[in-house]
Amino acid sequence: MIHAVIMAGGKGERFWPLSREKTPKQLLRIVGAKTMIEATVSRLSPLVPPSRIWIATAGDQAPAVGALLPEVPGEQIISEPVGRNTAPCIVLAALAIARVDPSATMLVLPADHVISPASEFRNTLRSCAAVAEKTGRLVTIGISPRGPATGYGYIKRGIKPVISGPRQFWQVERFIEKPDLARARRLVRSPRYTWNSGMFVWTVAAFLSSAEEHLPAIVKGLAPYRNLPARRLGSFLREVYPRLPSVSVDYGLMEKARGVLVTGASFSWDDVGSWDALAAHLPAAPGPGGNRCRGSFLGHDAAGCLSFSTGPLVALEGVRDLVVVATGDAVLVCPRGRSQEVREIVAGLKKAGKTDLL
């Protein structure tokens, strides 16, 4: 059967001041009426019911995740004692699934993407699962580039598909780390390059076999988890997890694994990685100027601005191309195009010891 692992341990620092350590991006209502993690779970139905959904999250976020998703069994909310990047997280989830369904097929999905239509997303996952089960290969989903983005990794696929039909699958030739702008411009000129979506499909057995080869220290460290009694799982993780290598599944496994397949996404996808990216998902503000807003907003002779307020009125006069975010205890103002640098503000707050704003 198909199980889904939703990775929900990110800090969401680029969405400060709305996002905080205990309520990061995936736990917020940034796009639409649902939190991003609720939307992720919802779009999987009916392909994967809540009884086969697993959430991998940080320990201090687990209570909030459980409150948002009461339909997901509590024992399937996996709390990481510390963040060790995505490879340990996914190995741990695979072992957790293997405890109850060793023959399972496993979807690995981030918790904070915006995807539509949900039906086409499910069709894509269903096709990927069928190929993973038939071939025993690791499968990923590539996104057709909308421009020379430097914030994503890229996938280079083979010239001809190795599986044809209603949906085509190509052999992955290589994974490429986030490029600089000049290289990104070269990559997007070729149809053989896609963005790396960070979504994966494989059988638990195939993934763990590959992980044993390429991530031996992680698999060896976590292997007892598969057979321990439930009462000992928490203490085991607290003891072992901090000692595991911190490595991404892309770098540690996918770039090294043989025979990886990629298929294209036939749905709309956005990882909404910054306040700038959110503009496409916010309603137009009243009046001229092409502003976008959520919450109380008033603009006069303002154009091209993004305003997000959880309470106070944001009033803009005679300004262009700004991002303004107002919460109960902080206000962010920066030029459009520089909201990726909000992490520097967060770093400054940490350095200053202003933990109440984190």
Domains, the chain: 2-272 (3.90.550.10), 276-357 (no CATH)
313-347 confidence digits (pLDDT tens)? 999 999 999 999 999 999 999 999 999 899 999 99
Q: How confident is the model at residue 10 (pLDDT cuts 50, 70, 90)?
A: confident
Distances (CA, A) of 243 to 80, 89, 93, 222, 239: 12, 13, 17, 11, 8
Mean pLDDT, residues 309-314: 96
Mean pLDDT, residues 122-145: 97
221-244 confidence digits (pLDDT tens)? 999 999 999 899 999 999 999 999
Residue 12 has pLDDT above 90, yes or no: no
**How much is the pLDDT for 9?**
84
Choose the weakest-confidence range: 99-103, 164-168, 169-173, 301-305.
164-168
Residue 82 burial (CB count, 10 A) = 15
**How much is the pLDDT for 116?**
96
**How much is the pLDDT for 205?**
98
Q: How confident is the model at residue 166 (pLDDT cuts 50, 70, 90)?
A: confident
**How much is the pLDDT for 61?**
92
Mean pLDDT, residues 201-208: 98
Which residues have a Cβ under 8 Å from the Cβ of 30 and sit 6 or more positions away?
15, 18, 36, 272, 278, 281
Q: How confident is the model at residue 11 (pLDDT cuts 50, 70, 90)?
A: confident
Q: Which single residue is written with the structure tokens 């779970």?
A: 41
16-57 confidence digits (pLDDT tens)? 999 998 889 999 999 988 999 999 999 999 999 999 999 999
**How much is the pLDDT for 278?**
93
> Which two three-digit tokens encode residue 52?
């086969």
Distances (CA, A) of 358 to 8, 329, 338, 339, 345: 18, 11, 20, 17, 10
**How much is the pLDDT for 13?**
87
**How much is the pLDDT for 1?**
95
**Residues paired with 174 in a beta bridge:** 156
**How much is the pLDDT for 143?**
96
